[in-house]
A = this chain, B = another copy of it.
Amino acid sequence: MHNAPTVEPLLTPAEVATIFRVDPKTVTRWAKAGKLTSIRTLGGHRRYKESEVRALLSGSTQQKSGE
Chain A positions within 8 Å of B, measured between CB atoms, are: 2-5, 7, 9-12, 15, 18-22, 26, 29-43, 47, 50, 54, 56-57, 59, 63-67
Closest chain-B Cβ to A43's Cβ sits at a distance in Å of 7
Report yes or no: A42 in contact with B34, Cβ–Cβ below 8 A: no
Closest to A56 in B: B42
Are B2 and A7 within 8 A (Cβ)?
Answer: no
Total copies of this chain within the assembly = 2
Contacts of A3 in B (CB 8 A): 9
By the criterion CB–CB under 8 Å, are A19 and B42 in contact?
no
Neighbouring B residues of A59 by C-beta, 8 Å: 40
B42/A36 in contact, CB under 8 A = yes
